[in-house]
Amino acid sequence: MKPAPRDSVLAIDPYVPGKSAASAGTANVRVFKLSANETPLGPSPSAIEAARRAIGEAEIYPEGSSRLLREAIGARHGLDSARIIAGAGSDQILELLAQAFIEPGDEGVYSQYGFLEYKIVILAAGGTPKVAAETRYTADVDALLAQVTDKTKVVFLANPNNPTGTYLSAKEIARLADGLPKKTLLVLDAAYAEYVRADDYEAGVALASTRDNVVVTRTFSKIYGLAGLRLGWGYGPAHVIDALNRIRSPFNVSTPAAAAGIAALEHREHLEAAMAHNAEWLPWLTAEISALGLDVLPSVANFVAIRFPDAQGRRAADADAYLTKRGLVLRAIGAYGMGEFLRLTVGPREANERVVSALKDFMQGAHD
């Protein structure tokens, strides 16, 4: 006999992060990690400085409610800080939502190529995951609504979605919210919202302001470049935020993370530079890689999913090995049922140019 976790815990396939830089290339090749949707601009220098200062007082517990950070987020986004909860990454907010709203016998819905964390948090809470088919690698509102039953407690939707990069318009999201029972919570995960330039997109903040059953989650890991500090937040109706506050651990956000987040919000130019960099290179990568005869899903985020042919020596796994050898670390997304794709994060200019040139060689058959 030994202590046994719940069956639903053992049903979880652990999340496998993208390859790290260290696992790639040879000693004399410069390695670019383009596998985790991290920003090539890094964090704002003022965020680094704020975190450094905070570390100097590391013996003191954080202020448990992350009040200053919530106020800074509220001021920046025009939101009531009492309806914001901060977390150790937006992953933690997703976990708290599942734990607070799903119990064994309940269902959680997400879309076919939706961010894998949803399945994990639903199972971890003892719930049953239900998957809605996508149309052209894009979430489908009708398919999502068709999965909703009397047992559905939460619908998770990444908008834009990782790993596809596709999105739903504000109108479609409103249609989804309108179609859900009042007792079903809609979680709009807007981890990549800052990158989106489409006019018909909205992160979900407006809906979360006015509906009793809509929450939005955001992160400092992507465009703000603070992934290593673990900082994210959620915003929604007071009764939902109250439930999450009851179950979160009392000091769930570290002082350096909160301090860095506040400084990052203040540094507008850095954010704008990151947006401009992506606006330049996302279309460039999409066009250049498409011109090589590869399908690239239309992405509005800071990454693209590239489909490789089902042909000897040209498959995604071949391309992954080929690129890795050249120090270009992309993300295999077989775990999403997209084994014929690799996901490429928009990197610095040099990395982007190297990827296109290496893919050109790969497609022309310069294999080794």
Ligand X SMILES: Cc1ncc(COP(=O)(O)O)c(C=O)c1O
User: Would you tell me which residues interact with ligand X (CB under 6 A)?
Assistant: 37, 89-91, 115, 158, 162, 189, 191, 219, 221, 227, 232
Q: How far is the CB of 285 from ligand X (least distance, A)?
A: 18
Residue placing its CB nearer to ligand X in the complex, 44 or 162 = 162
Residue placing its CB nearer to ligand X in the complex, 89 or 237 = 89
Distance from C-alpha of 34 to C-alpha of 343, rounded to nearest angstrom: 8
Residue placing its CB nearer to ligand X in the complex, 90 or 147 = 90
Question: Looking at beta carbons, which residue is closest to ligand X?
Answer: 89
- Residues 6+ away with beta carbon under 8 Å from 283: none
Q: How far is the CB of 200 from ligand X (least distance, A)?
A: 19
Residue placing its CB nearer to ligand X in the complex, 180 or 188 = 188
Q: How far is the CB of 221 from ligand X (least distance, A)?
A: 3
Q: How far is the CB of 69 from ligand X (least distance, A)?
A: 14
Q: What share of the chain is helix, strand, coil (3-state, %, to 5)?
A: 40, 15, 45
Tokens of 221: 């890991």
Residue placing its CB nearer to ligand X in the complex, 223 or 289 = 223
Residue placing its CB nearer to ligand X in the complex, 112 or 219 = 219
Q: How far is the CB of 17 from ligand X (least distance, A)?
A: 9
Q: How far is the CB of 65 from ligand X (least distance, A)?
A: 19
Distance from C-alpha of 95 to C-alpha of 85, rounded to nearest angstrom: 13
Evaluate the omega torsion of the peptide bond into residue 237 and state whether it is cis, within 30 degrees of 0: no
Distance from C-alpha of 158 to C-alpha of 164, rounded to nearest angstrom: 10
Q: How would DSSP label each residue in 126-170? A: T-EEEEEPPBTTB--HHHHHHT--TTEEEEEEESS-TTT-----H
Q: Could you tell me the CA-to-CA distances from 168 to 117, 139, 303 in Å, in that order? A: 19, 7, 17
State the residue for tokens 């995960």: 189
Distance from C-alpha of 286 to C-alpha of 126, rounded to nearest angstrom: 40
CB 137 within 8 A of CB 158: no
Residue placing its CB nearer to ligand X in the complex, 86 or 148 = 86
Q: How far is the CB of 365 from ligand X (least distance, A)?
A: 34
Tokens of 235: 């915003």
